[in-house]
Amino acid sequence: MEELRLGNVMVDCPDSGLLADFYAALLGWQRLVLYGLPAVRSNTGVVLLFAQEDDYAPPTWPEVPGKQQKQLHLDFQVPDVAAAVERALSLGAVKAAAQFGEGHFVTMLDPAGHPFCLCLQD
């Protein structure tokens, strides 16, 4: 069987340009347009694409029965979690009310409400 390779990650949101700008600034990745969609690309080729959805409902964190559930979240490895949290906050992220990382990671919510974690690099 031919090896499968992850090509891109598609992120649904209410404002695709705003979210692409957020992740470009947060990660320092290249901002571009791919397949007609706002995107960001790392220097290793990882691509996040942002699709605008008019009926987008942000996920709840932590999950609440009967509410929109998260379907995935992104983990970013950082050398200094506290500094990364402050940077994310300055760009429009919010710190999730519920935290479970016990110093190893902090859960944040991007401007569209998607949870992501800033994790202490090994």
Q: How far apart are CA 96 and CA 89, in angstroms?
A: 11
- Omega of the bond leading into 62 within 30 degrees of 0 (cis): yes
Looking from the CA of 6 toward its CB, the CA atoms found within 13 Å total 9
Give the pLDDT score at 104. Answer: 92
Q: For residue 25, what is the DSSP state?
A: H
Q: Tell me: the pLDDT tens digits for 49-104?
A: 999 999 999 999 898 899 998 888 899 999 999 999 999 999 999 999 999 988 89
Is residue 5 scored above 90 in pLDDT? no
Residue 74 has phi, psi (to 5 degrees) of: -105, 140
